[in-house]
Structure 1
Amino acid sequence: MTVYMQFNSHIERLITTTVNLVNALSPGEDGGRPVTPPRGDALRDAVAAAVRADGYDVRPSLAEARALAAETERARRVFVALHAGDEASAARLVNQMLRATDARPQLDTDQNGGHSLHFHGPDDSFSRGWAAGLAAGLAMAIGGDLGSRLGTCAAPACDRVYIDLSKNSHRRFCSTRCQNRVKTAAYRNRARQTGSAPR
């Protein structure tokens, strides 16, 4: 029997934000295109866009954006380790993040007057708070047997990360664009081998 496990909305938000930050701030390749980490105002804009959500639109300072970008580098290594099947290394990295951010659970009042569990650093500054949240989200994913749903894109010339929110847990690509690129290349390869390549 297959058991469908899913992220709760808060963990999903933390991991999705982590994916957004890692993909926006990490050097590498995105579908064959080189990615250079943003700097200056572009860095601040990229961080603000990555954390933006309904009812939450913040403008971090450049120093705050730089501090969060440094933590994002560690988060990327967690995705890479999980993709390689090395959960032990991923767990060690997340434990380092938890210690460095001093992530602390706290019940915050939500919009409906109820409470939800959030993680904060020792202060509520933008970068410390988000760094603690990223670490806690990754810890809850790995500790909740959902680490296998985090990975790096399987497409050639792409190293962007993803969270698999599908029911069947079959995601392998960071985007539909990369998935289509791989499918098109496989189709052309099969067509060449059978001599029926489109002209």
Structure 2
Amino acid sequence: MLFAHDTEVALVAAAALVNTTGSDGEKLPDLAALDDFFRAYGWSGGREHTLAELRAVQALRPRLRRVWEADEDEVVDIVNTLLRESSALPQLVRHDEWDYHLHATPANAPLATRMAVEAAMALVDVVRGGQLGRLRICEHPDCGDVVVDLSKNRSKRFCDTGCGNRAAVTAYCARKAATRP
């Protein structure tokens, strides 16, 4: 394991949140979709279940997306800004099936704030570990999704939406076409 479990979970959730918007449309269009996202990524704490909450989560996405495109100094600025705006106060907590891990907001903080701080805290570990190269953009030409490479050999090139399979099929078809008379 490269990072602590909660860091990896937060990085994957941040990437998934960023990837809910893009060339193939809005994937968080309504409260039901936000509910599904909340459950899928194991968020804890309270929810408002309002359009304002949905809009706040949607507004966080471009700020997090910038992390995948920025240099180290800008990433540090983004992380520090998110933590400062949220008045983050790291604490060890234990809940549900999780052993002690870090939370930096109270459980009743707004969802978008908790998401921002979880991502920022995970990015602290990425920056401190000199691992920003593990945050990438999918290499498939028709995709712009972000990728978190948690592999040991830093080999992940494609997102998790099938781009690796599409690239392999394209390469196979090109090889087959090259061998035809």
- Kindly tell me the number of residue pairs found equivalent between the two proteins: 180
Counterpart check, 1:73 vs 2:62: yes
Q: 1:27-54 CA deviation, whole Å, 9 max, x = no partner?
A: 22xxxxx22353333443354245336x
Q: Does 1:167 align with 2:152?
A: yes
Matched with 1:152 is 137
TM-score (norm: length of structure 1): 0.75
Q: 2:101 aligns to what SS in structure 1? A: strand
Per-residue CA deviations over 1:140-168 (Å, capped at 9, x if unaligned) read 21222222111111011111112112121
Residue 38 of structure 2 is matched in structure 1 by 48
> Which sits farther off after the overlay, 114-123 or 67-76?
114-123
Point out where structure 2 has 5 or more consecutive residues left out of the alignment. Answer: none
Match of 1:35 in 2: 25
1:99 aligns with 2:95: no
Q: CA deviation at 1:122?
A: 11
Corresponding residue number in structure 2 for 1:31: none
> What is the DSSP-based 3-state SS (H/G/I as helix, E as strand, rest coil) of the residue aligned with 2:133?
helix
* Alpha-carbon distance change, 151 to 89 in structure 1, aligned in 2, over 3 angstroms: same
Residue pairs, 1:103-182, within 5 angstroms: 103-110=88-95, 115-120=100-105, 124-175=109-160, 177-182=162-167
CA contact (8 A) 1:103 1:119 kept: yes
Cα drift, residue 134 of structure 1: 1.5
d(CA) in 1 for partners of 2:179 and 2:118?
A: 52
Q: 1:59 to 1:112 in 2, by over 3 A?
A: closer
Cα deviation, 1:67-120, whole Å, max 9, x if unaligned, reads: 122122211111133xxxx33333332233222223221121345896332222
How far apart, CA to CA, are the structure 2 residues paired with 1:88 and 1:192? 46
Q: Which runs of 5+ in 1 are unaligned?
A: 29-33
The residue number in structure 1 matching 2:15 is 19
Distance change (3 Å), C-alpha of 1:43 and 1:112: closer
